[in-house]
Amino acid sequence: MADNQNLLEGLVYNYTSATEPPTRDVRIEPTNAYLGSCRSLKCAMGQGCAKFNSRYFSQGVGCQLILALGIVRTFQNVVTIIHGPLGCASNNIGLAGFNKTSRALKGKPANDVIWIHTNLDESDVINGGAVKLRDAVLYAEKEYRPDVIVVGNSCVPGIIGDDIDAILEELEGQVSAKLVPVHCEGFRSRFVASGYDAAYHGLLKKLVDPPSRIESVLTGSSDEEERLARIRRENSRTVNLLNVGSTSYGDEVELSRILSSLGLKVNVLPLYGNIDEIARMGEAALNISICATHDDYLIGHLKERFGTQYVIDTLPIGIKNTNQWLRVIGEALGLVEETERLIDLETRQLLAALEPFKATLAGKTLWVGGGETRIFTTAEFFQSLGMKVLGLKPHNFDRFAVPMLDDIADPETSVAVAAGQPAEELVYLKRLKPDLYVGHGGANGWVVRLGIPTIPLYGQSQNYMGYSGAFELARKAARALLNTNLSKKIAANVTLPFKQQWYDSNPQDNIKETPGEEPTVRSSVQ
Amino acid sequence: MENSFIERAKSSCALGGAIATISSLPRSIPIVHASGGCAQTLSATYNLGSGYKGPGYCSGTMTPTSNITENNIVFGGEDRLEEQIESTLRVMDGDLYFVITGCQTEIIGDNSAEVASRFRDRPTPVIYASTPGFLGDGFRGYEAVLSSLARDFITPSTAKDKKTVNLLGLMPGQDVFYRGNLQNLVFLLNKLGIKANTFFGDGETVEKIKTYGQASYNLVFSPIHGQLASKAFEEALDIPSLTVDLPIGDTGTEAFLRQIAKTLRVPKAKLDEVIAEERAYYYSYFQRFLEIYGDLDYQRYAVVSSDINYAYPLIRFASEDLGWIPHLVVVNEEPEDEADSALYAKKFEELTASVRPKLVFEANTGQLLRHIKESWPYNHNDKYYNQLSPLFIIASSLDGSAAQKLGANFLPVSYPVTNRAVLTKGYTGYRGGLTLAEDIFSALVINR
């Protein structure tokens, strides 16, 4: 496991006593403003200067509260309370049906997603919102009898200083639900990924139990010894496959299939999980991450506190990265030979199946935008099918994706590190004119308006990961290129809201390379 | 009335409403002075939740925003806002730039109005509205944006055009069918010889909007929403207002036309002619459903759960046009002024079925099921039980599971609507009434 632990080198996870973990701004020091090439970005990351960059003209970079609630909202029998005005996470409205469908697709009870706003108003800004929060918790308990009530703290109480931990502690004796405070105030972090840590911090403090240490149990009965031995053997082969918001049921089935064929028992967690499964997370033989950007805080903490082993390496999209992901797991569990046999078989079968799509895809050009680990692995896969990667746009860039820069064949390939910022990305795309764009939700529509066909980077009911995911991804891209009429028609008839002078400018001039927005102040605002 | 928490509020905040409103104005660019996630999150509320209307000309991830962070909270964000406005004017191609604010910058006391005013002399107008989320729901942002247009952008005019009206109270996004609704209203009013300014509908431009001080009336299609905006239009532009109900179908549209014809002095002969013509058209189509209605007994108990704009118009359509039993109306918001609630309740006296619906004001989405159950005697395992069935619920997509639990037919009309995709469809007027009838009967025959 020596290799993959490098990603977390120097990081510590002993923040349990704090109400909130440090934001990614200080803990990981990523950048979300860097325009250059794979080569220059690698150099900038080495020098540690990119993290200071910011922009003159800016579009929305996202809010950590949305990503934090995106995790906890999926738990079974949970009510989420947003302590704030009606707007924070009001996008739940657009996602409630999505989450309900995902529950059904994953074979979980397809209940409505329930959330409550404390609905802070002008007088609460002055007087605080403690009463409303208390009322909301009691309402949630009475109406829904949830296993868990998660309270996401927004900017308003963060600035005026409502102490949600104290309010929830007071209520703990009055409700049977577990109460989980999540500190995810948007203004505190420039990086939405801080929301993952915020949610997992709450989960780790309030929901995960210490693993039971059965090896220390002594009994005189041989039946009991045998039973414990059975459990020990079971546990030694039980792994947690840590899912993320964008893993589809198809992804979970495929990755579980692969791991099961190594003789492992797979729990898919923690999204869409129930409270008992989450409580036992520390007991598994191995926590398997599929996205370092998503999971480092969770697995780092479980290792530091309970000694639960983990692997954190690449994201299993495409052949190379699925194989690499598997090898790291095989090594961690002492299944090197079995893993190699499996990889050999799966790769051979997949390569043969991909052959027909190569004819359509080879020589075509590509741009990929979205989460850092996902876009680099996706680009690498299409590159392996003979496509040329013209550029990538990671939302942010940090240590977790640095090794992936080397997977892009041409080191001069463009990289535009930008959370959102379609204005910059569309200038790149207008100049480079890729044959296909693979993009994050919210980006594809703008790109179609520019006349470039798109496919989504992830999807609720589609398989992207593992060997079958690679096949599906190739199939999808080849299909998109069979008919590109829509993007042509749209581009001829619909305009984007930019001035010509912006199209003519160099987007790099929009980046301020001097320290300006870096986080020097923390948690002193109250 | 004191504000409480809300379970699954069917709205966003004032900033969300402002973004939805500005991005529905022609070629207008919102500039959001707030933290990095507000613009995107709040846009998504309406871009997804409103029949997939999308971001319009500029919202969603495209929204220019100052992205203020912890440093700005401590040291102030005015410089950052100035930089963002300046750069937005360089990058984004708009006919109107609208600076709006979020909670963070309002709490720390940034003077955004002053910063915006520094751009007063630019060739393209830059105006400002204060829209922190804690002001209230999405409608509050709509009010703020329209009020700023009246006070700071539209040219006041003493020369009024007697036959021109401004349409207010239909908020883009919060009214899922606003484009189609406005289109139908323009069509109807044109038939009476009246020109209607929609702000958000077909053929609008910022240049045209500047001249809307010449209108002689504001028609406000809501008892409470658009009222602050209409007040601004009255004060700044000297345009009086007339509050009307959203006209849906034969009964509603005739009442609407007669109400406005009186105020706008439309000759009676002209009015009668238009009503007769549209009504003949309406029934020439409507009668096509009579066979299936009669043969399959498609009379239903009707329950409406919606915002205040749609609640009475929908139950009136069910009761007066479809001949359904108007059973229960759950309004998903409560007017701040109790007098408004009482006035709203009075409308229901005009319904002519033998029973009047029960009216409830309830903002918590999860309570719909309870209100329906409490509205009817409980089944004590009686041999003969007079059930609340067959039942049809017209509500929002968040209410679908309540309908499912009750075995009711269901059509989402009021925001949010996430299980239908909407482009030109609207429910106003005679023609909109036919569209609503199509959608309701489609929901009834969906399994055939």
- Report d(CA B94, CA B206) in Å as an integer: 10
- Looking at the structure, do residues B33 and B126 belong to the same domain, yes or no? yes
- Does residue B3 lie within any of the structural domains? no
Mean of pLDDT values over A141-145: 98
Closest-CA residue in chain A for B88?
A57
- By percentage, how much of chain A surpasses pLDDT 70? 94
Closest-CA residue in chain A for B89?
A499
**Are the beta carbons of B40 and A442 separated by less than 8 Å?**
yes
Q: What integer pLDDT is reported at residue A516 of this predicted model?
A: 47
Q: Does A98 have pLDDT greater than 90?
A: no
**Are the beta carbons of A118 and B134 separated by less than 8 Å?**
no
Q: Where among B116, B133, B152 does a domain terminate? A: B152
Q: What integer pLDDT is reported at residue A396 of this predicted model?
A: 96
Using CA atoms, how far residue A142 sits from A79, A145, A174, in Å, is 11, 6, 11
Q: What integer pLDDT is reported at residue A523 of this predicted model?
A: 37
Residues of chain B in contact with residue A497, where contact means CB-CB under 8 angstroms, are 27, 29, 57-58, 62, 92-94
B100-135 per-position pLDDT tens digit:
999 999 999 999 999 999 999 999 999 999 999 999
- Looking at the structure, do residues B45 and B139 belong to the same domain, yes or no? yes
**Are the beta carbons of A519 and B42 separated by less than 8 Å?**
no
**Are the beta carbons of A156 and B94 separated by less than 8 Å?**
no
- Looking at the structure, do residues B305 and B376 belong to the same domain, yes or no? yes
Q: Which CATH architecture has domain A64-189?
A: 3-Layer(aba) Sandwich (3.40)
- Does residue B280 lie within any of the structural domains? no
Closest-CA residue in chain A for B18?
A87
**Are the beta carbons of B70 and A61 separated by less than 8 Å?**
no
Instruction: Say whether residue B94 is in contact with chain A using an 8 A CB cutoff.
Output: yes
**Are the beta carbons of B68 and A187 separated by less than 8 Å?**
yes
**Are the beta carbons of B49 and A510 separated by less than 8 Å?**
no
- Looking at the structure, do residues B92 and B219 belong to the same domain, yes or no? no
Q: How many distinct structural domains can be found in chain B?
A: 3
- Does residue B427 lie within any of the structural domains? no
Residues of chain A in contact with residue B124, where contact means CB-CB under 8 angstroms, are none
Mean of pLDDT values over B144-172: 98
- Report d(CA B143, CA B211) in Å as an integer: 19
Q: In this complex, how many residue pairs, one in chain A and one in chain B, have their CB atoms less than 8 Å apart?
A: 247
CB neighbourhood size of A167 (10 A): 21
**Are the beta carbons of A57 and B87 separated by less than 8 Å?**
yes
Residues 120-139 (A) with a CB less than 8 A from some CB of B:
120-122, 124-125, 132-133, 135-136, 139
Confidence of residue A219 (pLDDT cuts 50, 70, 90): low
Closest-CA residue in chain B for A115?
B8
How many CA atoms, within 13 angstroms, populate the side-chain half-sphere of residue B40? Answer: 26
B296-347 per-position pLDDT tens digit:
999 999 999 999 999 999 999 999 999 999 999 999 999 999 999 999 999 9
**Are the beta carbons of A115 and B366 separated by less than 8 Å?**
no
Give how far A349 is from chain B: nearest CA, Å: 39
Using CA atoms, how far residue A207 sits from A140, A175, A204, A245, A249, in Å, is 18, 15, 6, 19, 24
Q: Where among B264, B281, B311 does a domain terminate? A: B264
Report DSSP state, residue B172: B
Q: What integer pLDDT is reported at residue A52 of this predicted model?
A: 87
B160-210 per-position pLDDT tens digit:
999 999 999 999 999 999 999 999 999 999 999 999 999 999 999 999 999
Instruction: Say whether residue B63 is in contact with chain A using an 8 A CB cutoff.
Output: yes
- Report d(CA A422, CA A133) in Å as an integer: 37
Residues of chain B in contact with residue A510, where contact means CB-CB under 8 angstroms, are 87
Confidence of residue A514 (pLDDT cuts 50, 70, 90): low
Residue pair B328/B362 in contact (Cβ under 8 Å)? The answer is: no
**Are the beta carbons of A423 and B91 separated by less than 8 Å?**
yes
Residue type, A460: Q
**Which of A62, A118, A520 is facing B40, going by the closest CB pair?**
A62
What's the complex ipTM?
0.96
**Are the beta carbons of A497 and B87 separated by less than 8 Å?**
no
**Interface mutation target, options A82, A92, A111, A187, chain B, most CBs of B under 10 Å:** A187
The CATH number of the structural domain formed by A221-338 is 3.40.50.1980
Domain that holds residue B323: 298-417
Residues 30-59 (A) with a CB less than 8 A from some CB of B:
56-59
Confidence of residue A3 (pLDDT cuts 50, 70, 90): very low
Instruction: Say whether residue A503 is in contact with chain B using an 8 A CB cutoff.
Output: no
- Looking at the structure, do residues B144 and B170 belong to the same domain, yes or no? no
Residues 6-35 (A) with a CB less than 8 A from some CB of B:
none
- Does residue B269 lie within any of the structural domains? no
Give how far B435 is from chain A: nearest CA, Å: 24
Please report, for the domain that includes residue B255, its CATH number: 3.40.50.1980
- Report d(CA A453, CA A483) in Å as an integer: 9
**Are the beta carbons of B418 and A93 separated by less than 8 Å?**
yes
Mean of pLDDT values over B30-34: 98
Mean of pLDDT values over A388-408: 97
Instruction: Say whether residue A507 is in contact with chain B using an 8 A CB cutoff.
Output: no
**Are the beta carbons of B38 and A419 separated by less than 8 Å?**
no
Average pLDDT, chain B: 97
Q: What integer pLDDT is reported at residue A518 of this predicted model?
A: 46
Query: In this structure, what token pair is assigned to residue B260?
Result: 């406005």
- Looking at the structure, do residues B24 and B139 belong to the same domain, yes or no? yes
Confidence of residue A229 (pLDDT cuts 50, 70, 90): confident
Residues ≥6 apart with Cβ < 8 Å to B326: B302, B315, B318, B319, B351, B353, B355, B356, B357
Average pLDDT, chain A: 93
Q: Does A522 have pLDDT greater than 70?
A: no
Query: In this structure, what token pair is assigned to residue B377?
Result: 């005697």
Mean of pLDDT values over B367-384: 96
Residues of chain B in contact with residue A501, where contact means CB-CB under 8 angstroms, are 90
- Looking at the structure, do residues B146 and B208 belong to the same domain, yes or no? no
- Looking at the structure, do residues B179 and B114 belong to the same domain, yes or no? no
Give how far B293 is from chain A: nearest CA, Å: 31
**Are the beta carbons of B71 and A520 separated by less than 8 Å?**
yes
Q: What integer pLDDT is reported at residue A517 of this predicted model?
A: 47
- Looking at the structure, do residues B320 and B256 belong to the same domain, yes or no? no
- Looking at the structure, do residues B195 and B65 belong to the same domain, yes or no? no
Q: Where among B109, B132, B152 does a domain terminate? A: B152
Closest-CA residue in chain B for A447?
B62
Instruction: Say whether residue B287 is in contact with chain A using an 8 A CB cutoff.
Output: no
Closest-CA residue in chain A for B48?
A94
Instruction: Say whether residue A446 is in contact with chain B using an 8 A CB cutoff.
Output: yes
Give how far B301 is from chain A: nearest CA, Å: 25
Q: What integer pLDDT is reported at residue A222 of this predicted model?
A: 77
**Are the beta carbons of B104 and A63 separated by less than 8 Å?**
no
Closest-CA residue in chain B for A420?
B61
**Total length of chain A:** 526
Instruction: Say whether residue B109 is in contact with chain A using an 8 A CB cutoff.
Output: no
Instruction: Say whether residue A86 is in contact with chain B using an 8 A CB cutoff.
Output: yes
The answer to whether A64-189 and A357-511 have equal CATH topology is yes
**Which of A122, A135, A445 is facing B5, going by the closest CB pair?**
A135
B73-106 per-position pLDDT tens digit:
999 999 999 999 999 999 999 999 999 999 999 9
How many CA atoms, within 13 angstroms, populate the side-chain half-sphere of residue A335? Answer: 20
Using CA atoms, how far residue B159 sits from B191, B207, B213, B237, B240, in Å, is 24, 18, 9, 11, 14
Q: Does B66 have pLDDT greater than 50?
A: yes
Instruction: Say whether residue B7 is in contact with chain A using an 8 A CB cutoff.
Output: yes
What are the strands of the beta sheet with A33-37, ordered from one edge?
A33-37, A414-418, A388-394, A365-370, A436-439, A454-456
Q: What integer pLDDT is reported at residue A448 of this predicted model?
A: 98
Residues 150-179 (A) with a CB less than 8 A from some CB of B:
155-156, 159-160
**Total length of chain B:** 448
- Looking at the structure, do residues B259 and B370 belong to the same domain, yes or no? no
- Looking at the structure, do residues B304 and B206 belong to the same domain, yes or no? no
Q: What integer pLDDT is reported at residue B2 of this predicted model?
A: 66
What are the strands of the beta sheet with A114-117, ordered from one edge?
A178-183, A148-153, A78-83, A114-117, B6-7
**Are the beta carbons of A56 and B83 separated by less than 8 Å?**
yes
**Are the beta carbons of B35 and A155 separated by less than 8 Å?**
yes
The structure tokens 């077909």 sit at B202
Q: Is B259 exposed, middle or buried (0-12, 13-18, 19+ CB in 10 A)?
A: middle
Residues of chain B in contact with residue A65, where contact means CB-CB under 8 angstroms, are 37, 41
Residue pair B356/B348 in contact (Cβ under 8 Å)? The answer is: yes
> Closest Cα partner for B308 from B340, B270, B282?
B340
**Candidates 3.40.50.1980, 3.40.50.2300, 3.20.20.100, 3.40.50.720; CATH matching A357-511:** 3.40.50.1980
- Structural domain boundaries of chain A? 64-189, 221-338, 357-511
- By percentage, how much of chain B surpasses pLDDT 90? 98
Instruction: Say whether residue A519 is in contact with chain B using an 8 A CB cutoff.
Output: yes
Q: Does A216 have pLDDT greater than 60?
A: no
Lowest mean pLDDT among A167-171, A229-233, A319-323, A384-388: A229-233
Q: Does A213 have pLDDT greater than 70?
A: no
Pairing of strands A148-153, A114-117: unpaired
Q: What integer pLDDT is reported at residue A1 of this predicted model?
A: 39
How many CA atoms, within 13 angstroms, populate the side-chain half-sphere of residue B34? Answer: 36
Instruction: Say whether residue B38 is in contact with chain A using an 8 A CB cutoff.
Output: yes
Closest-CA residue in chain B for A57?
B87
